A and B are shown apart, each in its own frame.
Chain A
Amino acid sequence: MARHYETTVIINGMLEEKQINDAVERVVETITKHGGTISETDHWGRKRLAYPIGKKNNGYYVRFEYDASGEIVAPLARFCRIDDDILRELTLVLTERDMQKREETETRIAEAEAAAESAEQDTDDSGDSDIGDQGVDDE
């Protein structure tokens, strides 16, 4: 059964740009070789790792979204383990509901951030102050 998957890989951040691109290309190849069709590639870029992996402190993050059957997961994980330039891999199934929710949440977060920026100078409690509080104070 075809499912929608999301795989994020961390590539060794100490490598040259070209080597990173080669590593990304290798992952893409592996996915397509096992019958996956990539729908989205998301480069997060170089990030400092929260803890060292294999004595490396930096990683280049790339996230792929693709449709494939479940048989792709194990070989892809195996490939990532064998490849020396790939530090970590995480594959998740995305259900239709997940994607819908994610989209909704993303738009809401964007809206909230825009609102927060415009109201930066205002106090934190603006909007829903407690009426009950005032009653107690009057006593």
Chain B
Amino acid sequence: MARYNNRNRTRNEENNGLFRPRQRDTRRRKKRNPIKDIEYIDYSNIKLLQRFLNDQGKILPRRITGVNAKQQRAITRAVKYARHLALLPFVAEDMR
């Protein structure tokens, strides 16, 4: 065990400055804001709102949609108004 560790260490030392951390796979792609141009999120624009729901009709998190916080709040509000007016379902098996 100790020998193995030693070997590892020498290997690293050999690599020295040439050692490069793996990053190609772990680096994440920067999300693009999909609705940058839209300033007013209208509750009657179902086509737009549906892009931010999963097929059960749940609101997708920002982590996935990539919109900014302000827009996410506006979307959430709009979805809730749309649900009140039965434009969107509260629960759905398959929305699409």
Contacts and interface: CB of A to CB of B under 8 A. Distances in A.
A interface majority secondary structure: strand
B67 interface: no
Contacts of A136: 24
Interface residues of B, number: 20
A101 B39 contact: yes
Interface string A48-63: 0111010000010101
Nearest to A88: B85
Interface in A8-57: 8, 10, 44, 47, 49-51, 53
A92 interface: yes
B38 A88 contact: no
Contact of A51 (B24, B44, B81, B90): B90
Interface residues of A, number: 25
Interface in A79-105: 87-88, 90, 92, 98, 101-102, 104-105
A108 interface: yes
Interface of A: 8, 10, 44, 47, 49-51, 53, 59, 61, 63, 87-88, 90, 92, 98, 101-102, 104-106, 108-109, 112, 136
Interface of B: 24, 37-40, 42-45, 81, 83-92
